[in-house]
Every structure is written in structure tokens, then in C-alpha cells.
Amino acid sequence: MRYARQEILPEIGAAGQAQLQSSHAVIVGAGGLGCPALQYLVAAGLGRITIVDGDTISLTNLHRQTLYREDQTGALKADIAVETLRRLNSDCALKSVPHALTPANAEALLADANIILDCADSFAVSYILSDVCEEKCLPLISASALEFNGYVGGFCGGSPSLRAVFPDLPERAATCATAGVLGPVVGTIGAMQAQMAIAQILGLKHAPLGQLVTLICAITGLVGSGLTTPQNQQKCASASSPPTISTATILLLNCAMRKRLHGPYLQAPTGIVLMILAPMALSRRMGSERFCVAVPAFVHGRPLAVSRPIGTAKFL
């Protein structure tokens, strides 16, 4: 009965739940990204999770790292995370590795894992994970969040590696300590990592590998698209007049990965327009190119139409 609300989903069922139970995930980083990812994966019933983090809890972590409490400052994050998560779900076998991931120990730590989550706040760790996962064909769900923005993507495992997509370090290698980050932003990205990991383990139709989601938030919240009706002031549009998207600042873009690309090919899947989702093979090429795309989306079973061309897509 514990997993009844997710087992009832036809894409999961008892077979999918058993698949989750037999999986082993390695989560590198138990900070702002790792905390929400861990909570959702443990709650979902993953069989084994190894938590790799050599850092200790500080007071400045607590606005975004929700597994920890004030009286635990100074303690090892990996150990406290395991202690807390065991009380959430005793079905999950949790292991703490309170050490930093390095080139020397990475291969051994990932040896028997099915999926890897890069929740570390370190480009060096991300590249180490990318190289090992690429060599072993392991799926890697990697993410980063800073200030009001973030991204999450599915790498390796047969799709482009993180190093291939981001071969160069950014000019300004800022961190949460130097540039800051809003708690709900990093929490949203971490939760999306958990969702992508579950989708990959279950082999759901829209697999996350080869996909990159960028979240761009403003000071006042998520920069989203304004939904209006053709009559604009009408509270409820009639069945014959589908609603439209008047401003698509944040959109959902999806495209099948292609070995050879002769130009941006973008076709969005059915769904509400919420975030930028673009194939990683295009993300570096497109930069801030301007493009238009028809988005077949539905609200309450009724189609939406794009009322004007979409503006600039920005990839972090």
C-alpha cells in the first residue's frame, strides 16, 4: 500500500515499482540539489542509494538544504542525510560515503550503479562523473543552480556526455557562496533530477537522456507565459474558441537527437508550456538565436495556439 499512489499509474504499476526497488543510484552531493533529489528517490522506493559528500553542514546551507537542522551544524552531510532518510523509508538501503569524489575513487564508487546523479557544486566533479559515465555507458543526470537560474540534463548512457556539451569552463566560475542562490530554485531543479532519474530507470516514453531543461526565474518568481483567450477579458473561453499563449517567454521545446543537424529542428511534444527544454546537441549551437516554433499543447483537453512568434531562447 505504501506506493499505491504511484503504482496506480499505468506507466509504473507493480512491475515498475519492482524495477525501482532493484535499482542502485549514486548521488554525488547532498546539498541544495541532493536534498530534494534524495527525498523524492527514497520516498519513491529506490532499492539502494549511495550518498557521496565529504562536506559538513553549515548554517548558511539551511535555507535550501532541507534534510538538515540547526543543531546538526558541523556534522557530515552524508551521514546526517542517511540518518534522516532512513526514517523516511526503511525499504531503501542507504550508504554514506563521507568523502569527496576524486578521479582515484570515482570508478569504484560507480561500479555497480544503474544511474548517477550529479548534485555536486563543482565543475571538477561534474567532469569526473561525465568521463566515468561515458566510459561505462552509465546514465548521468547532472544539474546546476545559481542565483535565480538553473539547468538539469540527461547525459552519457548513449547520449552526449556533459564534457562534450560543455567542453569549456564558464568565464565566471561563480558559486552559491559568491553569487548566491534562491532555495526554491535549487529545490525545483533537484526535484527534476529525481523525476528524470525515475523516468530513466523505468524506461518511460520520453526518456531524459539527451535532453536539457533550463529554468530561468525572475526576482518575483518563475518567468512564465501569459495565457489569454482570443476575447482577452473572457473568463472562460467557449469550446469553439481555444485559448492562446500570448507571451511565450518560457517554453517547452523538445527534439529527437540527430547525428547530423543541418539546422534547428524543434517540435514540442504535447504538454503545458512551462520551461525551456532543448536537445543538448543544439544548445551550444543555438546560443541566443531567434526562432519560431508551433507548440501543440493542451489545457483541459483543449488545444492551445501560439498567438505570435516566440522570442529569444537563452541557454545557461
Higher-confidence residue: 181 or 145? 145
The C-alpha cell that represents 241 in the structure block: 474558441
Average pLDDT over residues 124-139: 96
| Predicted pLDDT at 250 | 32
What whole-number distance in Å separates Cα of residue 210 and Cα of residue 187? 22
**Summary mean pLDDT of the chain:** 74
Average pLDDT over residues 199-213: 90
The fold adopted by the segment(s) 4-210 is Rossmann fold (3.40.50)
| Predicted pLDDT at 173 | 65
Sign of CA dihedral 127, 128, 131, 136: negative
Instruction: Tell me the per-residue pLDDT of 208-254, one tens digit each, with 9 for 90 and over.
Output: 999 988 887 754 444 444 433 344 334 443 334 333 323 322 333 33
**CA-based nearest residue to 132, from 165, 153, 162:** 162
Instruction: Tell me the per-residue pLDDT of 261-284, one tens digit each, with 9 for 90 and over.
Output: 223 323 333 332 333 343 443 333
| Predicted pLDDT at 172 | 58
Instruction: Tell me the per-residue pLDDT of 4-17, one tens digit each, with 9 for 90 and over.
Output: 999 999 999 999 99
| Predicted pLDDT at 218 | 55
Above pLDDT 70, what percent of the chain?
A: 66
**80 within 8 A of 96, measured Cβ to Cβ:** no
| Predicted pLDDT at 316 | 28
Between CA 156 and CA 158, with CA 157 as vertex, the angle to 5 degrees is 90
State yes or no: pLDDT of 85 exceeds 70: yes
Q: How far is CA 193 from CA 1, 111, 134, in A?
A: 25, 21, 19
State yes or no: pLDDT of 54 exceeds 60: yes
Average pLDDT over residues 45-62: 96
State yes or no: pLDDT of 145 exceeds 60: yes
Q: What is the residue extent of each domain of the chain?
A: 4-210, 224-316
Residue 72 CA neighbour count, 13 Å, CB half = 18
Q: How far is CA 215 from CA 44, 72, 152, 189, 198, in A?
A: 24, 31, 8, 8, 20
